[in-house]
Amino acid sequence: MPSEPRIPTEPTLEELSAYLDHELDDDARARVAEHVAGCADCQARLDGLRQTAYAIRALPMETPTRTFTIPAKPRESLRWAPVAGWIGGVAAAMLIIVFGVTHVPFSPAGTSSAAPASKTSGRLAYGPPQLSQGGAAAPTTHSDNIPADSSRAFAAKNTVTVTDPRNNARRLSLMTNAPTYATDGWMVVDGTMSGDPSSNVGQIHLVLRRGSYGVELPISSETFTNTDSIGFEGTYSIAALRLPAPVSGSYTLTATWTATDGSGVTLFAELPVTIK
């Protein structure tokens, strides 16, 4: 049956698809919207495209099967070259927040207690570490979740919490049970992801790196899950990690957590770790 004359022209496949993606200009968008509102066939076409797009978007983001590396210097032969002194000037943990591929405007959430947000300029912020126990708004009671025999004194030095400046509730905390390990020691890493209901431990990438090389550390377990946070933990034998010779040196333990809300915002928490 032909369309009623008052309904605007039948939209093309391309228009319906671009309409889904908010990629039509205002006139075209209005025309498609008006047509679809009055045409059950096109409503069904649009639904089909939408469900198809959602089905593709539902594919899991998979973890790379290895950690990527680069040669020590551009255009030079591959050579292991630790970046001497990179950690040297850093007294304690360094905070780095990397915003990912987002065009979402900055929209502060309710609280504004997080120091890092105020230091943010552009997309990359450096600032002092924010200790878990100092974060007034932090819902985490992270240190309660680690074994009692872990050194609290060390933990205080080797803990960092980064906060998503768009959403102060979203935080990533990272800690190790010591700042320094023997080459035959064991490192225990604990972390907490807070303030994101869609979070799961699979979203965390943990890498121990030195210079531009690193090993990915698999997370062995979830330590707890509650309404607004998830804890994770891993225990690693230093000797069993494939670290470069000589193993002794200054490393950086990095945890990245990319939001799954489509914003692409990545929280990036780093801790210095020394092996000797």
Partner 1 sequence: MDDRDLVGRARRGDPEAFTQLMMQYQVPLYNMALRMVGGPDDAADIAQEAFTRAWQKIRTLRDAPFKSWLFQIAANLCYDHFRRGRRYGEMPDEESNKVIGLGILTPDPQERAEASERNRLVRESIEALDHDMRLAIILRDVNGMAYDEIAGVLGVPLGTVKSRIARARAQVQEHLQRYPDFFPSTREDAHAE
CA Rg, the chain, in Å? 24
- The closest of 78, 69, 71 to 213, measured between CA atoms, is 69
Contacts of 265 (CB under 8 A, 6+ apart): 99, 100, 102, 104, 164, 166, 258, 259
* CA–CA dist 193, 179 (Å, integer): 21
**Amino acid (one-letter) located at 72:** A
Query: Which of Zn ion, partner 1, none lies near 42, with the C-beta cut-off 5 to 8 A by kind?
Result: Zn ion
Q: With binding defined as CB under 8 A, does residue 264 bind partner 1?
A: yes
Name beta bridge partners: 250. 274
Task: Give the per-residue contact string, 118-157, with partner 1 (x = CB under 8 A; - = no).
Answer: ----xxx---------------------------------
Task: Give the whole-angstrom CA distance, residue 119 versus residue 60.
Answer: 34
Residue appearing with tokens 């494939």? 242
Chain-centre distance of CA 81, in angstroms?
27
* Amino acid making up residue 74: P
Residue 219 within binding range of partner 1, rule CB under 8 A: yes
Q: How far is the CB of 113 from partner 1 (least distance, A)?
A: 25
Q: Under the criterion CB under 8 A, does residue 88 sit at the interface with partner 1?
A: no
Distances (CA, A) of 167 to 110, 196, 266: 8, 10, 12
In whole angstroms, the minimum distance from the beta carbon of 238 to partner 1 comes to 13
The correct pick among 1, 65, 107, 136 for binding partner 1 (CB under 8 A) is 65
Q: Least CB distance from residue 27 to partner 1, whole Å?
A: 16
Any contact of residue 248 with partner 1 (CB under 8 A)?
no
Asked if 101 touches partner 1 (CB under 8 A), the answer is yes
Of residues 159, 192, 250, 258, which one binds partner 1 by CB under 8 A? 258
> Is 64 or 110 the residue whose CB approaches partner 1 more closely?
64
Q: By C-beta, is 123 or 152 nearer to partner 1?
A: 123
**Interaction partner, residue 183 (partner 1, Zn ion, none; CB < 5-8 Å by kind):** none
Residue 106 interacts with partner 1 (CB under 8 A): yes or no = no
Q: Mask: binding to partner 1, 190-209, rule CB under 8 A, as x and -?
A: ------------x--x-x-x
What is d(CA 103, CA 123) in angstroms, rounded to the nearest whole number? 11
Q: Does 107 bind partner 1 (CB under 8 A)?
A: no
Site residues for Zn ion per CB under 5 A = 10, 39, 41-42
User: Which residue of 97, 256, 269, 273 would you call a contact of partner 1, by CB under 8 A?
Assistant: 256
DSSP string for residues in 158-207: TEEEEEETTEEEEEEEEEES-SEE-TT-EEEEEEEEES-TT--GGGEEEE
Binding site partner of 274, from partner 1, Zn ion, none, Cβ cut-off 5-8 A by kind? none
Interatomic CA distance for residues 189 and 232, integer angstroms: 8
Q: 239 is in the binding site of which of partner 1, Zn ion, none (Cβ under 5 to 8 A by kind)?
A: none
